[in-house]
Amino acid sequence: MSTNKQKYTWVQFDSIMSSNSSSPAAPQLCYENVNGSCVKTPYSPGPRVILYAVFGFGAALAVFGNLLVTISILHFKQLHSPTNFLISSLACADFLVGVTVMPFSMVRSVESCWYFGRSFCTFHTCCDIAFCLSSLFHLCFISIDRYIAVTDPLVYPTKFTKNVSGICICVSWVLALVYSGSVFYTGANDDGLEELSSAINCVGGCQPVINQLFILINSLLFFIPAIVMLVLYSNIFFVANKQAKVIESLSSKAEAFSGTSKPKVTKRERKAAKTLSITVIAFLVSWLPYIIDSFIDCFMGYITPSYVYEILCWLAYYNSALNPLIYALFYPWFRKAITFTITGKILRDSSSTMNLFSKHTFISN
């Protein structure tokens, strides 16, 4: 979620000062022979290759991993459930981060210059915020879905239907896109900071300024859903553990009379909640340092060093690449779907009805 990128100003200032003190040579510019060009502070060849490899790997994983999630859920009919449709839409948001945000941020981070024009800078920033908020809203709705499924399983199929899931998906996208577009395409983000914005926006920089009002709104948009998710998942595990004790007690009695093994329904429900809660925790851990830094930085005069800002920024971006790894680690059906996709079996006429689940494989409903 890009906010104030004034860090370029400090980098430029440091570069100019070091050049003046150690050498009469003029500093490198993003655009040579262009008045008002930003100062370029490139890395040496070795670190540059490493950074491009690390950032590029994250972008590729976000693109192809989330694409596999989306294809798997939409193609195989066994995966057509309200929860999985939400997961598929979440994967679309992360996929778009990998396509529209990460590659261009990679060039900006490594080259310390923005070569894609002022209009695309605004579009890039809007996508950055919109897809982050959309992911957060999706995760919040998924937590509500899992809460109902665990705490009220008998009425869950009538409460959280595919139509309800579709409404949640639409709300997650529309709210995020409308908010982001209205903030940056109306110029409301830098109200009261026009002089600062003009001073730091050199040619070759992408440095949108966000005033304290919208920093506060962004923080609330992050923390309110985050608190809701944490409360819901805490209640889920409390209820699941309570149910487990009851079922284990009943199962042990039934086993004593019939000699049969005790059911694993509660264990499966807890596994589903655990997997999705890991996704939520990964999101919060990835984004929380950036959100906190942005909030403090705005009120402290933008004192965060540029390299710290870039680390926090890419920690947040990398969250878009984590979810497919989590699904692959915990969901056997996803690993099987990947195998079918990579080997081309999904091109067969009957592939959509393939069985992805063994007798012990769980799918969230």
Give the CATH number for residue 98: 1.20.1070.10
β-sheet bridge partners, residue 39: 29
- The three-state secondary structure class of 17 is helix
Which residues lie below 8 Å from residue 309, measured CB to CB, with a gap of 6+?
Answer: 5, 7, 293
Give the CA-trace dihedral at 311, 315, 318, 319, to 10 degrees: -170
**What is the spatial distance between Cα 15 and Cα 87, in angstroms, rounded to a whole number?**
45
User: Distance between CA 353 and CA 204 in Å, rounded?
Assistant: 52
- Domain membership of residue 179 (yes or no) is yes
Within a domain: 363: no
Burial of 52 (0-12, 13-18, 19+ CB in 10 A): middle
Burial class (CB in 10 A: 0-12, 13-18, 19+), 77: exposed
Number of domains observed in the structure of the chain = 1
Asked whether residue 1 is assigned to any structural domain, the reply reads: no
Tokens for 165? 């899931």
- Is the residue at 357 inside a domain? no
Domain residue limits at 60: 7-352
**What pLDDT digit, counting tens, does each position of 120-149 carry?**
988 999 999 999 899 999 999 998 998 888
Total Cβ atoms within 10 A of residue 264: 14
Is residue 94 a part of any domain in this protein? yes
- The pLDDT, as a whole number, for residue 348 is 82
CA distance 124 to 8: 17
What was the pLDDT predicted at 118? 85
What torsion, rounded to 10 degrees, do the Cα atoms 86, 87, 88, 93 define? 90
- Report which of 180, 146, 152 is spatially closest to residue 165, judged by C-alpha positions: 146
**Whole-model pTM?**
0.82
Is 117 in contact with 108 (CB distance < 8 Å)?
A: no
Q: Which residue has the tokens 């990460």?
A: 102
Residue 278 lies in a domain: yes
Q: What is the mean pLDDT of residues 26-53?
A: 85
Query: pLDDT averaged over the chain?
Result: 80
Q: Would you state the pLDDT for residue 270?
A: 60
pLDDT confidence of residue 33: 80
- CA-based Rg of the chain, rounded to a whole angstrom? 24
* Residue pLDDT, tens place only, 326-357: 887 788 888 888 888 888 888 887 888 888 87
Q: What is the pLDDT of residues 283-309, one digit of tens each?
A: 888 999 988 988 888 777 767 777 788
* 344 in any annotated domain: yes
pLDDT, tens only, 184-238: 888 777 666 666 666 666 788 787 777 788 888 888 999 999 999 889 888 887 8
Contact 131, 93 (CB under 8 A): yes
> Looking at the DSSP assignment, which residues form a beta bridge with residue 29?
39
pLDDT of residue 102: 95
Q: How many CA atoms lie within 13 A of 255 on its CB side?
A: 10
* Separation between Cα atoms, residue 118 and residue 305, nearest integer Å: 24
Q: Cα–Cα distance between 83 and 327 in angstroms, integer?
A: 14
> For residue 284, is it within any domain?
yes
* Of 96, 139, 123, the residue nearest 232 (C-alpha): 139
Is the pLDDT higher at 221 or at 259? 221
191 vs 47, residue with greater confidence: 47
282 and 322 in contact (C-beta within 8 Å)?
yes
